[in-house]
Amino acid sequence: MKISKKEFARRRKNLMAQMEPDSIAIVPAARETIRNRDVDYPFRQDSDFYYLTGFAEPDAVLVLLPGRKHGQYILFCRDRDPTMELWNGYRAGPEGATVDYAADDAFPVSDIDDILPGLIEGRERVYYAMGRHAEFDRKVMKWVNVIRSQVRTGAHPPGEFLDLDHLLHDLRLYKSAAEVRVMKKAGQISAAAHVRAMQLCKPGVAEYQLEAEIQHEFGRNGARFAAYNSIVGAGKNGCILHYTENRDVIKDGDLVLIDAGCELEHYAADITRTFPANGKFSKEQKALYELVLKAQLAAIKTIKPGNHWNQSHDATVKVITKGLVELGLLKGTVSKLIEKEAYKDFYMHRAGHWLGMDVHDVGDYKVGDEWRVLEEGMAMTVEPGIYVATDNKKVAKKWRGIGIRIEDDVVVTKDGCEVLTKDVPKTVKEIEVLMNESAA
């Protein structure tokens, strides 16, 4: 399940159509990063670069030249090298860049200093994400300065730098049918991993053992890597929003919060489920869990074309604040508590974020000073939560240390939204049935 060459070509065409006349866009690939000594982190391509090329090798540079007669899409990449390929794997080389990745022209990246200034020369504007890659920033300025030094011989340097992110990230915000298919598959694989963790969980199992089961399910279904560091937090660890140590032993009576999603073909899934280690919610756990679920379902109902980004968050705040008052964890009128943001003692994060090639994907949340209006193809998470700190002396002891979050991935459709991660149980009854069947 891959994105086609035609779609990558369409993306480049769409970007160039929005660029100003007489401009050039320059996009560097990601570089390999040392983990320790002579060991690299697993390479993962820069999302912007991959979105436009589908090219997954390091040390490459994409150049787009709208209107160039001899080809608008140029790729600089590593040259073929039999010795290095023997040690580190095959390379496409410039020939592969044209044959397999549809570049109009391709050159060895080692020749970029000689070639790229000539491509920049005569262009009025440079589209580039300045400030993101310090070392590459210096290279870009070096190339521009080479042209500036030749003004007396008739060279014409660019007069303006424009932020590429503004155009490119708006394109990435709208997911195509092919992208949705990949994200749905990533959601299905991630859902199966959550189900596996629920089935194998019991008191005495370590958090890292559940993490291993999740990673196993990802890998055996073709998703080698997680989209982010998996969170497996039992008991009070579930109250830590970005808990990733995953080292404690799960105890009887604990709730287990798992926030984990795979990455498939450079697209992320992002799911959270919370469930009782022993297969049965306590009275207090059930009350807070059903409140979070009610908030999530209310938020999902608001996600449709024409509504704005923040309506889903507002829906969760109203439901959670009202519920906390009814349960006695907050005191006062709902409207005043919302105005004072009293709910933030228990619910301190947003209800979701854009989702796509990055788990916290690109795209503006506001246009001007107004919340962005939702449109078909936008993808996001919906993830309300309640976290009662162990040292919160304002509430009865029976509530303390309970952390709950429920998260799903949704994509906006013509008349509503589709939940891409619906294959994981999330009602109290569904979870308890699944876990008790597994224990039998």
Q: Return the active site residues.
A: 38, 242, 259, 270, 349, 353, 360, 383, 387, 405, 407
C-alpha pair distances (Å), 356 with each of 51, 132, 266 = 11, 20, 8
Dihedrals φ, ψ of 209, to 5°? -70, -40
Residue from 83, 20, 18, 27 nearest 52 by CA:
27
In sequence order, which residues have a C-beta less than 8 Å from that of residue 70 and are 6 or more positions away? Answer: 104, 105
Residue 167 token pair: 């155009």
Nearest CA among 358, 354, 353, 359 for reference residue 377 = 354
Buried b (16+ CB within 10 A) or exposed e, 174-207: bbeeebbebbbbbbbbbbbbbbbbbeebeeebeb
Place of tokens 């999302």: 47
Report whether 352 contacts 381 (CB < 8 A). yes
| DSSP per-residue letters across 213-264 | HHHHHHHHTT--EESS--EEEEGGGGGSTT-----SBP-TT-EEEEEE-EEE
CA distance linking residue 302 with residue 118, whole number of Å: 52
Residue 344 neighbours by CB under 8 Å, 6+ apart:
none
Ranges of H-type helices in 249-362: 283-302, 311-327, 334-339
The rounded radius of gyration (Å) of the Cα atoms in the chain is: 25
429: left (phi over 0), alpha (psi -120 to 50) or beta: alpha
Q: Which residues contact 251 (CB under 8 A, 6 or more apart)?
A: 203, 234, 235, 277
- Distances in Å between the alpha carbon of 11 and those of 3, 15, 220, 239? 11, 6, 31, 41
Amino acid at 406: I
Distance of alpha carbon 97 from alpha carbon 63, whole angstroms? 13
